[in-house]
Amino acid sequence: MNRALYLMILVFGMVLALSAAAEVRLLLEGGGQAPQQFPETRLAERQQMVEQQITARGVSAEDVLNVMRAVPRHWFVPERLQRRAYADHPLPIGHGQTISQPYIVAVMTEELGVGRGDRVLEVGTGSGYQAAVLAALGVDVVSIEIIEPLAETAAERLEHRGFGSIRLLHGDGYYGDPEHAPYDAIIVTAAAGHVPPPLIEQLKPGGRMVIPVGRAGWTQNLLRVEKTGDGKTRTRNLMAVSFVPLTGDH
């Protein structure tokens, strides 16, 4: 390779790196409300995750792609699994629960169709990653976790990482959170046997819910449920998925 060509490639690579870093720094100024600037640590892995796992499978909403590039997934993965933080599959987080595959997080976020100022209920906080992604979109997030140690750990992690505005509750998410209802959207990150009626009641007219429905241990259907102005629902089957079951007394 001659020297001129080598220098051109080197400069082009530097421009791409600076552009990616600037995108992360400017993301929250233009489209998100997470209260701190995201670090550039492992940024290349996040870029690769988005390009190879998410956009390649059809997710196209630019705001969703931006937050998936920006929010460090490794913050929400156990220390022993750090090397696999950006892998194309779910990872265990303890207590029989998982952090979802990055692609599934992106799909569910895109299907919610939310933006700055919307109020969203998340059922199943888990590690806190999905809540952080939503908060980075400028969304007002209420998140419920039934497993108390996970709720406590997620609350500490989110506070430490600058997401203290997320309301994190310990309780049975099947029944939602009427205190902060109605919601523009609801996201359920565990598989229910059916769509919980209390969650439908807490959706605004025109609101959307994304929820996996089906038997535990089997393939489930990821559904997008929209509440119409007259209180009825329209349901669309998005894809086959496999989630841990929604637990609780119901």
Q: How confident is the model over 185-219, as pLDDT tens digits? A: 999 999 999 999 999 999 999 999 999 999 988 89
pLDDT given for residue 20 in this prediction: 37
* 249 within a domain of the structure (yes/no): no
Active site residue 100: yes
Rounded Cα distance between 228 and 239, Å, is 22
Supply the pLDDT for residue 8: 41
Report the distance separating Cα 175 and Cα 172, nearest Å.
Answer: 6
Domain of residue 176, residue span:
3-241
Task: Classify residue 247: in a domain, yes or no.
Answer: no
- Which one is catalytic: 19, 60, 100, 127? 100
166 in a structural domain: yes
The domain tally of the chain equals 1
Residue 58 domain-assigned? Answer: yes
As a whole number of angstroms, the distance between CA 141 and CA 180 comes to 10
Helix-, strand-, coil-residue percentages of the chain, each rounded to 5:
45, 25, 35
pTM of the model: 0.86
Q: Residue 190: which of 125, 95, 120, 110 has the closest Cα?
A: 125
> Residue 18: what pLDDT?
38
We report the CATH number of the domain holding residue 186 as 3.40.50.150
- Distance CA(166)–CA(136), nearest Å, equals 11
> Of how many residues is the chain composed?
250
User: Which residues of the chain carry a pLDDT beneath 70?
Assistant: 1-37
In a domain, 123, yes or no: yes
- For residue 104, tell me if it sits in a domain: yes
Residue 211 contacts residue 223 (beta carbons within 8 Å) = yes
Distances (CA, A) of 14 to 11, 22, 46, 51: 5, 12, 17, 19
Looking at residue 6, what is its pLDDT? 37
